[in-house]
Amino acid sequence: MHELLLFGQVPVSRHDQVLNILAGVAAMQPVPVLEHHLVFKPNRLSGPARPVQVGGAQDIQKSQQALQAQAQGDLFYMQLVADVADTASTAQTKEDQNAAMNFNEENGNNVTEDGKTTAHDPDAEVRGRPANTDKWTLQFRDLPEVARQRPVTSRLIADTPIISGNPVHFMSALDYTHTATYLLSGHRFTHLSTSLLLYRLLLPSTPTEQASNPSKLNIFQVRLLVPSSTYILQAALRVQDGSKVETMTKGVNELLSLKETLKGVVELEMGERLALDTRVR
């Protein structure tokens, strides 16, 4: 799937005004968004794994070259994203929120030493919510294409929701290491086919806890990534098949007409290509 994007900046003093204007444009109330992002980096260093062999028959050299050509591709950062807005808004106490963010083994069951599983935590059920409610999505974002004809940022994306299993274990089995955590907090609107997201990024302020269990999050102890608390407005449009020129052009035109509509309110521009680069360097 491809994504077409435009970005704008909104200073904190104008946040509420822009929120109201967007609500008018999209004809809907803002939907609060709170996403927990985990960033993973591959352990493998990119580059040839074996030194190039000299000699050998032509066939062997050709197949080895093909293998090495594939092995020398780029490696990308990946993200695990969980939508925690529901659990954050419905939880009543700090303990509830901590429990809701927890990602226990075996989908909420407690695994004892002999490998047998016991029942759900009875306290969690009394509160009316199972201990693990996070739904994680594996997110992949490619480097945006070079801005040749389209005046918008265009990139390949893949979002894979994970139904069962432990995503953090899966990432380490894939040979990826967790490098960073952040929270995305904001509001979402939908206008025609475009998704508008007005957000800012938050960082956890307790780094020690993150190392042992990355999926645990205490949302009461966060700090801003950008101290001036500037918000970002992201207009994103997804196209199922990026190779169909017609659909891509339709998408570009819709984004450009949105840019016209919001002229004077927020200036929407292309993102800087190398700033959106997810390759490992």
Q: Is 132 in the site for other proteins (CB under 8 A)?
A: no
Q: Is 275 in the site for other proteins (CB under 8 A)?
A: no
Interface residue with other proteins among 117, 206, 213, 257 (CB under 8 A) is 117
Q: Is 110 in the site for other proteins (CB under 8 A)?
A: no
Q: How many residues bind other proteins (CB under 8 A)?
A: 36
Q: What distance lies between CA 17 and its chain's CA centroid?
A: 27
For residue 55, give Cα distances in angstroms to 58, 59, 140: 9, 11, 39
Cβ pair 197, 234 in contact under 8 A = yes
Interface residue with other proteins among 57, 113, 115, 146 (CB under 8 A) is 115
**Which of 208, 199, 200, 203 lies closest to 222, judged by CA?**
203
Stretch touching other proteins by CB under 8 A, among 42-50, 94-102, 191-199, 260-268: 42-50
Separation CA 53–CA 70 (nearest Å):
16
Give the footprint of other proteins on residues 154-183 (CB under 8 A): 158-167, 169-170, 173-175
Q: Is 55 in the site for other proteins (CB under 8 A)?
A: no
Q: Is 244 in the site for other proteins (CB under 8 A)?
A: no
Q: Is 74 in the site for other proteins (CB under 8 A)?
A: yes
Single-letter amino acid code for the residue at 230:
T
- 76-91 burial, b for 16+ CB within 10 Å, e for fewer? bbbbbbbbbbebbeeb
Minimum CB separation from other proteins for residue 173, in Å? 4
Q: Is 256 in the site for other proteins (CB under 8 A)?
A: no
**Which of 162, 161, 157, 163 lies closest to 140, judged by CA?**
157
Length of the chain: 281
Interface residue with other proteins among 9, 21, 25, 46 (CB under 8 A) is 46
Binding site for other proteins (CB under 8 A): 1, 42, 44, 46, 49-50, 67, 70-76, 106, 115-117, 138, 140, 142, 158-167, 169-170, 173-175
